[in-house]
Structure 1
Amino acid sequence: MTQEVQQHSRDQESDHHSDHDGNHGQDLKENRSIKQFLNEAKEENKRIWYLAGPAIFAFIGRYSLGAVTLVFAGHLTTLELDAVSTGNLVITGFAFGIMFGMGSALETLCGQAYGAKQLHMLGVYLQRSWIILTMMCICLLPIYLFATPILLLFHQNKQIASLTGKYSLYMIPQLFAFGLNFPIQKFLLAQSKVMITAAVSGAALVFHLFLNWLLIVQFKLGLAGAAIALNASWWFVVLGQFTYIAMGYCPGVWNGFSRLAFKNLGAFTKLSIGSAIMMCLEFWFLMILIVIAGNLKNAQIAVAAMSICMNLYGWQNMIFFGLNSAISVRVSNELGAGRPRAAHFSVLVVLMSSVTLGVFFFVLIVALRDVYGVPFTNNPEVVDAVSRLAIVFAFSLFLNSIQPVLSGVAVGAGWQWLIAYVNLGCYYLIGIPLGYLLAFPLNKGIKGMWTGQLAGVGLQTAILIFITWKTNWDYEASQASSRIEKWGGSTKIPVVKSEDCPSLRSDDLA
């Protein structure tokens, strides 16, 4: 009996040690998994910001070209300043949105082809995009040629409309620079060659500053000087980037001009138009809000407050356009390479960064709610109107930290048409009608208008999160492989399925 008790005691002790060792082993395994995840997230974050940092600089550089010209246009008459402003924001802005959107199709195609090692197809895709965007430039020419009657149709001041029409004729060379620049920009971005785009944009900005000073201040060429400076600077960007390509710094990717560029133009055009609609619906949504704000009571105060918030919104966009481009490249590269888990992981990492930045901007606006409008105006009524927008504006900036990133995921995966429908519903069926209802019948003024905008963007962000969450990344990788094979690639890329790789390895993310 004593021996049985002793044996039972030893068995209990053995079981206790066994349970303890098992729990300890499980804890160690969980700790290793967390540590591995954090290390991999750190490495992926480095890859994303290696792309995003120079892309942000390049976006700011190009965004500043028009802003610099407006500053120098302050040396002109008020009428000439209004003409330059209207031409840049309305006529050129309309064309810019379409060209930028259509060029974004290359983020999908070049990114996936580069990931699949079908390097020769990048040059072919670039040339196809040039053909399509040049044709679109020709289609957009009437907007430049008939800018005056178009502006008069929308009840613009006759003198401003007349002078803007003259200025728009001067700006036609810039339109064709758009058509060549955006495909080159996406072509280089897909290869992670972001430093050259940043360097060329920085050099173009310096060149642009000098040219504006020379032509507007020294030579006093007025509208013609402003137009020459912008045209020359945008063509400087185009030629600078193309020279880099032509000098052989993209080996295996650029092999000269090819007849393949004229094949599959129909399918390529469809994807380009989908990209343009996706982008333009968003750009035009903000423009329409400003137009509607002009019909509010105290319209000058309302438009000024909206313009200040839109200005800040635009500068924040430059940061998240950079993240948009970075995640688009990462997703398209990984899907093209047949690594869906790596693509999914990259999305998670970039969302962590963007949400952190969004919280920072939210807190900043709320903390500075009474003063963030002061640098833009001396009018206390405008400052007060901007202050009253602080909470809804802060929420807008927070959502704007997530939405462009998810749009970048959509571009990388090739969902442009799907997101175009989402934008149409959220912005034009929800955002604008709700903003109008709150601003006019319910008499909530500018705050009501911006609340409508917030509702539209909020719904769009929620839908994008749901789409991304429900995405079958294995299927998206197989779609990328099919697209590459169909449009000229020679090798079908094997897809590494999620169930075949239970954990991310460093070679999955390389």
Structure 2
Amino acid sequence: MNILGLTSALSFFSDAIQFKIGTIFIGRSSGEEIGKKLGSLFIGQSVVACTAYVVVTGLVAAMGTLCSQAYGAKDYKLVGTYFSRALLIASLTCFPLWTIWICVDSFVFHFSGDFQLAQGASDYTIIMCFSYPAYIYAKLANSFLQSQNKVAATLAILISGNILNIILQYIFIFGYELEIKGVAISYVISMYVVAVLVFTYIRLSNINKIYLNQCWTFELLTEWLHFLKYGVPGVLQKLNDLILSRVIPIIFVGFVLKDTNQLALFGILNTIWFVFLSTSLGYGSGVTVRIGNLLGNNELERAKKASIVCLLYGLAIVVIFGILIFSFAHYLSLLFTTVEEFRLQIEFGIRLLGVIILSDIVYILRGIYNACCLQNVETLTRFLISIFISTPLGCVLTYFIIWRAAGYYLIMIIVFVALLILHSQHIIASDNNLPQDIFLFTNLIPENGRGEYNNIFNILNITWREITIDDKNQSIYTKEVFKVVRLIRPDCHKSCDHQSEFNIQKREIFGVDDREAIRPKHAKKFPRSGVVRLSVGCTGMLIDPLHVLTAAHCFYLHNRYTSNPSGVQVGVLKANEVDWSRIKRIYLPMNWISDNGNSLDYDYSIVELKTPSKRIPTPLGLSVYSDCLSKHTHKEGSSVEFSGFPDDKPKNKLWKSNCSILDTDYHLLWQECDATHGNSGSGMIAKMERSTEGDKDDWVTIGVFSGIRYNYKYERRLNVGIRMNIYNFLTICIWSDSLKECIERYKWLFPLPPLKFETH
């Protein structure tokens, strides 16, 4: 784990050197003009850092968290989807940032009145416009690979780019005397080389085939809010750091006091600060990856221990850095200039930085924050508080200790100690570095990246369409609803889906037709008393007096409604006749309506009646796909039964089919129960074992009969039902307004803290 953190730290260190190495070459080549030239470079680099660096590193923080947990959960397609989504979002920022960079000269000249300072900063930012696309890809690809513990190759690529950058800068600055332009041109060339090498590595490895081939889909345009929810706090964190270390010095030293020599001194100290700060950030990023992998794989105890170990190693790293910086301050100052008076000020500032660098442990804490998805409103509040505290104090120190610019960095100690205390208190309150709302049943959730469950955000996303019929049945009102459920999980094994094809037009009789007719008097008895007929030609099952479970394709198929919802009626069998009644509302899963290729696994819906039925319902039951919940798994060989109104049998008569389950996955129950048209929507029932000895087994509805699909295991078509897995079970419980009853029935599966809901 610490190898990953250290390698990641070296990677960030190399990246920082590539960005800041120009300060050394400009300082050595400037002589007495060091103030103007280094001041211009410092402003140009600050503009780029406060825009491009902030945006990309914020996305890297979010993507690293999401990809590492998806990789730990072995959801490989989702890893590629997150990477591609981050690329798309970052690419949209190109033109706004280029606009800012092109206008830098006007802005700097307006506030400083120094044309040479403005021109130098503008030369740097305009050339750097060309580097931004390569920078986006290189940084995000590096995080993408790092989330899969593949850091050796990216580290080698970054070192190669660094060497090329140093050589080019030496040639352009000392050979061609391009000065600041040479710094920018060298960075652009080296960054494109790094991007090409990383792209080539991904294309030639099996990563591209596993993660990226199928990720450029419509999913990239969805769930941006969830993605940005964890990216924005990261952006604000970096912006906070840059306001402290760059913006305030530029405003008060460069624009208010107009002292270019002290501005250059700030630039040199910021270079040293940034390089070692990036190393701490790199280690924190490695922490994010490792803890994220452990959380994604449900190894909660190991994640807790890893977070503690990371803090200890991180503290050791920053202590060593602080000692080295303090001890070698004299030699570090010689790298930047030979002007003795200026060098002495640099040396003093470097020694002070050696003490301040100890506060970088806060970045290791941020890594744990990111890994555990703890970024929230409290994080934004801390950002605002730190800005309000640091800005006035920074102005005072800048004004009164201007002859020693390093004195300004004293404020860093105060701010970072405050942040360290705030972060520590929040982590301690969050149960030893882990969020209170961890995961529920992610082992029971498919690893298919379909978006119905997102274990990265520890939530269950439930979306549906409500079709409400007015009292006069003359019009309908449709709305789409989105709810979020925070969940917790036990330690069980994960499951994988079988591939399947679906034919909604056919049902099948297997061998001898063994369906049995049910006499009218028996049709009124439990558990078949809840079977109802729908006017659209389907069957349904009462799960409570007001709600009927049936198939979604009975109402909506191939992007259109199959019948007018206002004309739908529900019939109860009485003495070979059907007593029809009106409905109030229809619920359809958005996963079915979206018709995205995976929607066939969500062929279920709920019909809400206008008046309660007097028939005894067959309650909804949970049917999970797991080895750790044997009482509710309904595996191969389990008995299942459904009753309905098939089209090939006499009308207004109930027919029963029963058989054993042949194959299962997270979504489906494959069987050879005889069925034809009219059976669609039939409630599949089975006996649920009671948790307490002495209690009787009872019948529950564990699925909805859907149709026929090709089964790859048996290499033939089988009848199939949609099982009441965790997602479907909770969705229907919410629709029928019986969530509390559902949880009470399975309370042993829902440990504390209780489920939390957010409605969007």
**One-letter code of the match for 1:93?**
A
Residues 215-240 of structure 1, C-alpha deviations (whole Å, 9 max, x = no match): 55556666665443221211111121
Offset, 1:283? 2.0
- 2:369 corresponds to 1:410: yes
**2:76 is the counterpart of 1:119:** yes
- Alignment partner of 2:283 out of 323, 327, 352: 323
In the alignment, structure 1 residue 202 sits paired with structure 2 residue 159: yes
- Within the alignment, does 1:102 sit opposite 2:55 as a pair? no
- TM-score by length of structure 1 reads 0.75
Task: Indicate the structure (1 or 2) with the bigger Cα radius of gyration.
Answer: 2
Find the counterpart in structure 2 of residue 149 from structure 1: 106
Moved more, 237-246 or 431-440: 431-440
Per-residue deviation, 1:293: 6.0
1:365-401 Cα shifts (integer Å, max 9, x gaps): 66678887566555457636854885x644422111x
Query: d(CA) in 2 for partners of 1:228 and 1:413?
Result: 39
2:344 to 338, 361, 383: 383
Contact 1:84–1:164 (Cα < 8 Å) also in 2: yes
Spell out, residue by residue over 1:82-127, the C-alpha distance to the aligned partner (whole angstroms, 9 max, x if none).
5871464133222222222222210111011111111111111111
Contact 1:148–1:162 (CA<8 Å) still a contact in 2? Answer: yes
Contact 1:112 1:334 in 2 (8 A): yes
Given that 1:116 and 1:336 are in contact with CA atoms closer than 8 Å, whether structure 2 keeps it comes out as yes
Structure 1 CA distance for aligned equivalents of residues 178 and 264 of structure 2: 30
Mean Cα displacement is larger for which, 318-327 or 434-443? Answer: 434-443
For residues 224 and 269 of structure 1, the distance between their equivalents in structure 2, rounded to whole angstroms, comes to 35
The Cα RMSD (Å) is: 3.9
* 1-structure distance, mates of 2:336, 2:367: 31
1:477 has 2:438 as partner: yes
Please report how far the alpha carbon of residue 71 of structure 1 lies from its aligned counterpart in structure 2 after TM superposition.
Answer: 4.8
Deviation at 1:60? 2.6
Task: Work out whether residues 111 and 336 of structure 1, in 8 Å CA contact, stay in contact via their aligned partners in 2.
Answer: yes
In the alignment, what sits opposite 2:18? 65
Correspondences of 1:294-313 after superposition (within 5 Å): 294=253, 303=263, 306-313=266-273
The aligned counterpart of 1:91 is 47
The SS at the match of 2:56 is: helix
Question: Structure 1 stretch 250-259 or stretch 305-314: which is displaced more?
Answer: 305-314
Cα distance in 2, alignment partners of residues 220 and 364 from structure 1: 33
Judged with a 3 Å threshold, the aligned counterparts in structure 2 of structure 1 residues 302 and 171 are, in CA distance, closer, same or farther, namely: closer
Match of residue 140, structure 1, among 97, 102, 119:
97
Q: 1:39 maps to which residue?
A: none
8 A contact 2:386–2:415 mirrored in 1: yes
Contact 1:301 1:385 in 2 (8 A): no
Q: Does 203-212 or 463-472 show the bigger shift?
A: 203-212
Q: 1:11: which partner in 2?
A: none
SS of equivalent residue, structure 1 residue 478: coil
Tell me if the contact between 1:167 and 1:223 (Cα under 8 Å) persists in the aligned partners: yes
**Which residue identity lines up with residue 357 of structure 1 in the other structure?**
I
Compared CA separation, residues 57 and 365, structure 1 to 2 (3 A):
closer
Gaps of 5+ in 2: 456-487, 492-760
Aligned residue for 1:254? 212
Looking at secondary structure, tell me which structure has more strand per residue: 2
Match of 1:35 in 2: none
Contact conserved, 1:431 with 1:456, CA < 8 A, in 2? yes
Q: Distance in 2 between matches of 1:108 and 1:134?
A: 20
2:141/2:198 contact within 8 Å kept: yes
Segment of structure 1 superposing worse, 420-429 or 112-121: 420-429
Equivalent in the alignment of 2:310: 350
Matched ranges for 1:211-230 at <5 A: 211-213=168-170, 215=172, 225-230=182-187
Q: 1:382 to 1:481 in 2, by over 3 A?
A: farther
Quote how far apart the aligned CAs of 1:182 are: 2.1
- Return the alpha-carbon distance in structure 1 between the equivalents of residues 87 and 98 of structure 2: 16
- Judging changes above 3 Å, is the alpha-carbon distance between structure 1 residues 288 and 486 closer, same or farther for their aligned structure 2 residues? farther
Alpha carbons 1:70, 1:81 under 8 Å: kept: no
d(CA) in 2 for partners of 1:413, 1:484: 21
Is 1:273 the counterpart of 2:232 in the alignment? yes
Name 1:399's counterpart in structure 2.
359
Of structures 1 and 2, the one scoring higher in RCO (CA 8 A, sep 6+) is 1
Q: 1:256 to 1:207 in 2, by over 3 A?
A: farther
Question: Any idea what SS the aligned residue of 2:212 has?
Answer: coil
Does structure 1 residue 286 correspond to structure 2 residue 242?
A: no
2:680 paired residue number = none
Distance in 2 (CA, whole Å) between partners of 1:306 and 1:69 is 15
CA distance in 2, matches of 1:485, 1:237: 33
Q: Secondary structure at the match of 2:100?
A: helix
* Contact map agreement 2:349 2:407 (CA 8 A) in 1: no
Provide the C-alpha distance between the structure 2 equivalents of 1:305 and 1:144, rounded to a whole number of angstroms: 23
Question: Which residue of structure 2 aligns with residue 23 of structure 1?
Answer: none
- SS of the aligned residue for 1:209 comes to helix
User: Which amino acid is the alignment partner of residue 216 of structure 2?
Assistant: S
Corresponding residue for residue 236 of structure 1 = 193
Q: TM-score, normalised by structure 2?
A: 0.52
1:437-465 deviations in whole A, cap 9, x for unaligned? 46658999757633332111110011111
Percent identical residues: 18
- Aligned position for 1:36: none
Paired residue type of 1:475: Q
Letter paired with 2:88: I
Distance in 1 separating the partners of 2:340 and 2:441: 54
Q: Work out whether residues 278 and 416 of structure 1, in 8 Å CA contact, stay in contact via their aligned partners in 2.
A: no
Alpha-carbon distance between aligned partners in 2 of 1:370 and 1:232, rounded to the nearest angstrom: 32
Q: Which moved more, 1:345-354 or 1:256-265?
A: 256-265
CA distance 1:490–1:199, shift in 2 (3 Å):
farther
Report Cα offsets for 1:107-154 as digits up to 9, x if no partner. 111011111111111111111111100111222121122121122233
Relative distance call for 1:249 and 1:199 in structure 2 (3 A) is farther
Q: How does 1:123-202 map to 2 (within 5 A)?
A: 123-155=80-112, 157-202=114-159
CA contact (8 A) 1:436 1:452 kept: no
Relative distance call for 1:480 and 1:285 in structure 2 (3 A) is: farther
CA-CA distance at 1:187 after TM superposition: 0.7
d(CA) in 1 for partners of 2:396, 2:23: 34
Residue in 1 that maps onto 2:637: none
